Structure 1
């Protein structure tokens, strides 16, 4: 019987998300409705509201709710999570300043004459935006609105064009500063603290000593270390996207034809390229360079 309530939870969740409800309300709302229906079904058919639950029913729900409220309070005290709203704010500022649009138009003129050049420009701009914003939504929306019509007008394959935009938009998940990496570092830190406390308790039970040697401590990984570890895989992924688009364009030119630069490679064009690239590159250096060199930390 419990399986039916799990199916109901999934259906309610997908329905709420499909109707456009915010995720922050759709997920807990679906869980609350499912729990309430399970308790009501147990009370009506079996006379016990906790018959469909593994533990103490309403008492367990109350303690879980208290723990959630405590987690909300303590999560705001974590220094690592402070970086998340600031990175999102930076991404919104870049989106409002239309830097993404200028970059896409300029890079399309620069790489356009190369087979698959429009796709390569989308991946290049996606990597730059990922390294400056750390979020995915703004990147995908900006590139989808600007580059997809241009790629369709130049006879690009719809599957290749849409796949390139989606793939390059998700580079923000791995190329630092990534919000996912910050959350992962925070979760790893919490897990390592719990593991260290448990190990210390076991050490005390086994030896009777309160002080555990540092060699037995469980160390965690900081967000800065996560950034350093994800940078090279992110660059490798960008190069793989470049190679795939270029090879596809060379093997099947009809899928990604070359697009001539209407302005030509004049001094004015190269000046525009310079002024389009300098702001995001400076921002990347200020954010990542300061972290790598130890001038600043994520938390």
Structure 2
């Protein structure tokens, strides 16, 4: 019992320290080492758990799936630096901007494409905030609607493949699924892959984009002054719009299509995406030595951050298990009663709240490995559970007062935009995402139908 209490104290200590702004990776690893040292001295911890860290790190180094992470980051950063998103937004805004809500529709569509290109929430919100928010305000859009749209479309990078979050989550869910099978005494070679999560999340992502567009049309119908059409709209030839949309859309289609059809692994497709993004940037004459250095530096920094957190989370996970944290959580679920769905509801609520203080990377590496094997052993479909976690975290990143997307937009928005406008503007979209989450819970086939049709 003492070990279980120490495991919970370790988890609480990490969350508390992160609230004070300490570096995530060092907090995870350092706190775990302190607790492990105390446990060894007190005779409540087996040091062999920490000794297994080298094996974990070697397993990470040799994990081909995780190679997709820096490649997808490189693809997204290249498209961002090449200003492909800026050209796309301008063309779409001119094509749709002559109607009520047209500029907002352009923001949603471009935001969805940009989310699929970068796969990073912060990059999409910041880019759209810089490019689209001034234009929307100048066109007379209600600041609440404008900021809500940008924050909501920015979080689409969490669920629309190819997403960095889904790559990391898929790798963790695969390991958790194997652990759940071993705990249940099942010998089965079936696994869940990153490609499975990509396929499972595709339909929910498209549904969410459709819901955003429907809400915008409803607002335009009820109160056109909130999203007015400009008095003078420039006509944009169809060839110009097609020329702006075709390159990024074609690249995304090739990357995602090759994964869905099984022609390439996520890592191979990520390599194609990175090379394709470089080719597009070069074709647009957006590449020079300075830009290449900037792309390489940004990719290296983001990748280093991800894998340093992964190492810290691995150490945390080993120490947590060494204190019997898995058994403590499983015992807690058993004492609750109410069956698997009550346990899942509590896990989703905890993850939602943790999304206020932790990024998806920390939650994926720290929380998911702890709870996913337990939930999967209760009979939940691994693809469905992975998509549910992704949508849940996406909603958390959008929810006031601590949603990450709100802080990203606040950092680039003009001082004339009040923080209260941002907070109030995202509320309708939070309810839309909660509605989607409830729908996926009640109708799992929305997630599992396409993977089953693809034979996954």
The two structures share one fold, judged by TM-score above 0.5 = yes
What's 2:212 paired with? 241
Q: What whole-Å deviation, never above 9, does each CA across 1:229-283 have from its counterpart, x for those lacking one?
A: 1111111100000000111122122221122554324xxx433212211111110
- The 5 Å alignment of 1:194-209 reads 194-199=179-184, 202=185
Distance (Å, rounded) in 2 between the aligned partners of 1:189 and 1:32: 24
Assess if the C-alpha contact under 8 Å between 2:199 and 2:260 holds in 1.
Answer: yes
2:93 is matched with 108
Measure how far apart 1:6 and its partner are.
Answer: 6.8
- Out of 20, 23, 44, the position equivalent to 1:15 is 20
Q: Distance in 1 between matches of 2:142 and 2:41?
A: 56
Q: CA deviation at 1:106?
A: 1.5
Q: 1:156 to 1:35 in 2, by over 3 A?
A: farther
The Cα shift of 1:217 comes to 1.8
1:257 to 204, 228, 249: 228
Alignment of 1:134-213 (within 5 A): 134-199=119-184, 202=185
Structure 1 residues 273, 260: closer, same or farther in 2, change over 3 A? farther
Partners of 1:102 and 1:262 in 2: CA distance: 17
Map 1:13-162 → 2, pairs under 5 A: 13-16=18-21, 22-29=23-30, 31=31, 35=35, 50=42, 56=44, 59-60=45-46, 62-162=47-147
Q: Residue 130 of structure 1 contacts residue 175 of structure 1 at CA under 8 Å; is this kept in 2? A: yes
Q: In structure 2, how many angstroms separate the alpha carbons of the residues matched to 1:10 and 1:224?
A: 31
The alignment's C-alpha RMSD in Å is: 2.9
Give structure 1 stretches of 5+ with no counterpart: 43-47, 204-215
Distance 1:64 1:257, change over 3 A: farther
Does the Cα contact within 8 Å between 1:135 and 1:178 map onto a contact in 2?
yes
Contact 2:65 2:171 in 1 (8 A): yes
**Take 1:113 and 1:234, find their aligned partners in 2: how far apart are those partners?**
27
Given that residues 84 and 179 in structure 1 are in contact (C-alpha distance below 8 angstroms), is that contact kept between their aligned partners in structure 2? yes
Indicate whether 1:275 and 2:243 are aligned: yes
| 1:23/1:148 CA distance change after superposition, 3 Å | farther
Alpha-carbon contact 1:9-1:34 (below 8 Å) kept: no
State whether residues 108 and 117 of structure 1, in contact with CA within 8 Å, keep that contact through their aligned partners in structure 2: yes
Residues 87 and 193 of structure 1: CA distance in aligned 2, closer, same or farther (over 3 Å): same
For the 8 Å contact 2:95–2:235, the answer to whether it is kept is: no
Q: Distance in 2 between matches of 1:77 and 1:8?
A: 31
* Structure 1 runs, 4 residues or longer, greater than 6 Å off: 1-7
Number of aligned positions between the proteins: 262
C-alpha distance in 2, partners of 1:6/1:83? 29
Q: Which one of the candidate residues 274, 279, 285 is aligned to 2:253? A: 285
Structure 2 counterpart of 1:224: 195
After superposition, the Cα gap between the structure-2 partners of 1:260 and 1:105, relative to the gap in structure 1 and judged at 3 Å, is farther
TM-superposition CA deviations, 1:160-189 (whole Å, max 9, x none)? 111111110111111111122222221222
> For 2:133 and 2:165, how far apart are their aligned partners in 1?
27
* Structure with bigger gyration radius: 1
5+ residue gaps, structure 2: 268-456
CA contact 2:121–2:158 (8 Å) conserved in 1: yes
What is the CA deviation profile of residues 94-122 of structure 1, one whole-angstrom value per residue up to 9, with x for unaligned ones?
Answer: 01100111111221111212212222111
Say whether the 8 Å CA contact 1:134–1:179 is kept in structure 2: yes
Residue 70 of structure 1 and its aligned partner are, at CA, apart by: 2.6
* Higher relative contact order (CA closer than 8 Å, sequence separation 6+): 2
* Shift of residue 89, structure 1, vs aligned partner: 0.7
What is the alpha-carbon distance in structure 1 between the residues aligned to residue 257 and residue 65 of structure 2? 18
Structure 2 vs 1, CA of residues 297 and 260 (structure 1 numbering), >3 Å: closer, same or farther?
farther
